[in-house]
Structure 1
Amino acid sequence: MIMRMKTHLTSFIKSNYRELVIGGILASAIFIVGHFSGGFIVRPDSVVLPFYMGINIFSFLFCWLTLALLISKFPMYKVLGVFGLLFLGAIAEYFMNIPNNPITIPLLILFWMGVSYLIIPKFFKKYQIAIIFTYGAVITYFFMFRRTSNYAEDHHPVVTTFLIVSISMMIVLWAYDRWKWLTNLRADKAKAELMLLKNQVNPHFFFNTLNNLYGLAVEKSEKAPAMILKLSDIMRYTIYDGNADYVYLKDEIAYIEDYIELNKIRYQKKVEITFIKDIPYSHKIAPILIVIPLENAFKHGVESLMENAFIKIEITTTNSGIFFRIKNNYEFKELKSKGIGLENLQKRLAMIYPNKHKLEITKTEDIYELSLSIKTT
């Protein structure tokens, strides 16, 4: 890990060598002027030496890296314009020789606001009223008490503390704003992924059903009208209810029953289907979720078997959740991989019910069983 950090640091220095050199020269010039002007905010005679040295080292590094960053991102004139405020503050402090110089503090605040505007412009514009009000209050306090005899003892520490706290709060607020933005971005990405997974469920089912419907229409079969009605109900549920976050379990069961009836017409073979429902509690569930294992049962089971195909479905509820089980037979050679359906189901469960579901699959040479329990409270 240390070697990796060294590699990254070496690469950073090589790729930003020019900016680091120019930033270092400008930062050194600013701090030389600041030293001769007697310091900006923290005076050497007002604090202990280690604290004064630590503040100056940290301030130099911050100024250096900030300058290098700004030079790499913005035109030189903007960077020089902002840091010119700091330079002018140092010059005013040194040459004007006025106690509690009325120019230094405003220039320092304008410098910090200029740096903030360059580095985080969207954040600055979003909170510009609060930022201007806060630093305006600092400047107002400074001008109200700068001429008082006890300013250095009583009021200068207040101004210093106010500046440090306001800058710290601004950094914390920016970090929170970025965290909130990142959280919303992840939520939007999760919603988009979830919608994509929903849209992957039924395309081949609709394609195959329409092909079967075409065949029935050509034969002028009496089953065609019933098949059209079932397909219409399924499409209505998929398009409208399928876009909801949650639906009532009874509506999902009605969708599954329509799905089963439509597949009975599609396959035109004898399939033993048992559907046990025990739902004394009315829970909500993510739509088009438990139909995925049923779709796999028809695709890998009923389609592959010439006879004696069966599907057993069980849905029960408790006061705290939903239990679903499906069992079907199949030809072993047909089930070579878990397929996109099961992968889709696992991804959606992980996104919608993290740490609130349990999915178990058991297989033998000709029997496939899937059980799913979901906590809804």
Structure 2
Amino acid sequence: MKKDWTKYQAFVIGPAITYAMILFMEYIDLIRVPSGAWISNTLGFLFYAFFISLAIHKYLAKGGSLIRVGAGFGILAIVIFSIGYFTSNLQDNPLMILLMISFWLMLFYFILPEFFQKYRWLIVGLYGGSALFFLYARLFTGSFELYESTYKVWALSLFLLPVPVLLTLWFYEQWKWFRTLKAEKAKAELALLRSQVNPHFFFNTLNNLYSLVVHQSDKAPDVILKLSDMMRYTIYEGKKDRVPLKEEIEYLQRYIDLHKIRYQKEVVIKFEKPEETEATIAPLLLILPLENAFKHGVETMREGAFIHASVFEDDKKIVFRISNNFDEQTEETEKGIGLENLKKRLELLYPDQHKLEIEKEEGVFTVILELYES
């Protein structure tokens, strides 16, 4: 399979153009390259070649043509020749310095077009002001000696002033982009984790509902209503960042009620909850340890199964505690999946604002979750 070399052509053309322009400017005596300073010459050449290549690459990637690239540098060569021919004896050549600034701004535009477009007035203002001061100092202060002794350092230093300003802005833009990217990634991860909540529970409940309908059980309408409320909560309330704690508790209670219908064996379920609460909580969070208690606790026990759960508020925090027994001989390795899901969601939703304790002792599994108010 042949490689596509077109995306690398800019990094061949760039150094070639850079070398040709250096030779041309040296030929017309506009610059002088020290013959013995091969290290500084090489580094300078690589510096210019890299940015010229990068600008050409960006331009070609946006649909530009090599003919236009060649024409652009041809025009630049003519301008350089004209400046060098007509003003070669003018020290600190104003036209040449302004041309160099324009050249770098052109490269800057092609390399970072969105950034340049967003801050174009700031860039024009900074470099325009610097250029006006330089022209005043160089051409209208009376003599070159006065410019050399008084204004030169300030005039040329002003061209460097925009560099730290623009670099700071660029790093700020990258920080904002990175922060947004992290936020979007967190939302995507959270959406994936939420989508993993209770799919097999709804499937099992529908199977039980089918059995109730076939046998014309009086429980069927109540099951349909509870299942409908749970699906509504999962689909609509589950998208929100926060929901009232009392709604999350009602969701847990419906989950418990629907599970009770499934079992023919006796299961002791105690659920203590506050009568009134104004607290809020991330939705579909407490269901994970409760689901874990049923799936890996009650369903592993032939008899004597129990679940003890409680939700309460204490000193500006929400505390959820749940304990269940389980058969240690039939314990599955899959048991940790739901709790791993819970840990990941807590890291996303309550960073540094939660405490999760997991205890397993003498056939009893206990989860204690504390959520602190921000």
1:343 to 336, 340, 361: 340
Single out whichever of 83-92 and 57-66 deviates more from structure 2: 83-92
Q: How many residues align?
A: 353
* 1:188 to partner: Cα distance: 0.7
For 1:340, the aligned partner's letter is I
Contact 2:52/2:107 (<8 A) preserved: no
State the Cα deviation string for residues 105-134 of structure 1 (Å, max 9, x = none).
332222112111221122222223332333
Matched, 1:295 2:291: yes
| SS of match in other structure, 1:373 | strand
CA RMSD of aligned residues (A): 3.3
Q: Per the alignment, do residues 242 and 207 of structure 1 end up closer, same or farther by CA in structure 2, a change over 3 Å counting? A: same
Contact 1:70 1:119 in 2 (8 A): yes
The separation in 2 between residues aligned to 1:375 and 1:262, in whole angstroms, is 30
The structural deviation recorded for 1:361 is 1.7
**Deviation per residue, 1:336-370 (Å, 9 max, x gap):** 23343222111111111223222222224632111
The TM-score, its normalising length taken from structure 2, stands at 0.81
Could you tell me which runs of 5 or more consecutive residues in structure 1 were left unpaired when the two chains were aligned.
1-15, 45-51
Percent identity (aligned): 44
* 2:125 is aligned with 1:133: yes
Counterparts of 2:9 and 2:174 in 1: how far apart (Å)?
A: 29
Q: Does 1:176 align with 2:172?
A: yes
Cα 1:85/1:308, change in 2 over 3 Å: farther
| 5+ residue gaps, structure 2 | 1-6
Deviations 1:28-76 (A, max 9, x none): 454556674358xxxx9xxxxxxx9999876544213223434555354
The DSSP-based 3-state class of the residue aligned with 1:222 is coil
Distance 1:284 1:152, change over 3 A: farther
Q: Is 1:37 matched up with 2:21? A: no
Spell out, residue by residue over 1:287-308, the C-alpha distance to the aligned partner (whole angstroms, 9 max, x if none).
1001101011111222232322
CA distance in 1, matches of 2:173, 2:322: 46
Most deviating of 29-38 and 167-176: 29-38
Asked if the contact 1:281/1:318 (under 8 Å) is kept, the reply is no
Does 1:274 find its partner at 2:270? yes
Q: Which residue of 1 aligns with 2:234?
A: 238
Secondary structure at 1:220 match in 2 = coil
- Between 1:246-255 and 1:67-76, the stretch displaced more is 67-76
Q: Which amino acid aligns with 2:298?
A: V
Hey, what does 2:357 align to over in structure 1? 360
Q: Secondary structure of 2:252's match?
A: helix
Q: Could you tell me which residue of structure 1 aligns to residue 223 of structure 2?
A: 227
What TM-score results when the alignment is normalised by the length of structure 1? 0.81
SS at match of 1:287: coil
The corresponding residue for 2:308 is 312
Per-residue deviation, 1:328: 0.6
2:191 corresponds, among 180, 189, 195, to 195
1:20 CA drift (Å): 6.0
SS at match of 1:132: helix
Greater alpha carbon shift after TM alignment, 259-268 vs 235-244: 259-268
Q: Does residue 92 of structure 2 align to residue 95 of structure 1?
A: no
Q: CA deviation at 1:90?
A: 5.0
C-alpha change, 1:188 and 1:169, in structure 2 (3 Å) is same
Summarize the Cα distance change of 1:111–1:279 in structure 2 as closer, same or farther, 3 Å threshold.
farther
Q: Distance in 2 between matches of 1:157 and 1:31?
A: 26
Distance verdict in 2 for CA 1:67–1:344, change over 3 Å = same
Q: Which amino acid aligns with 1:63?
A: Y
SS at match of 2:206: helix
Structure 2 residue identity aligned to 1:276: E
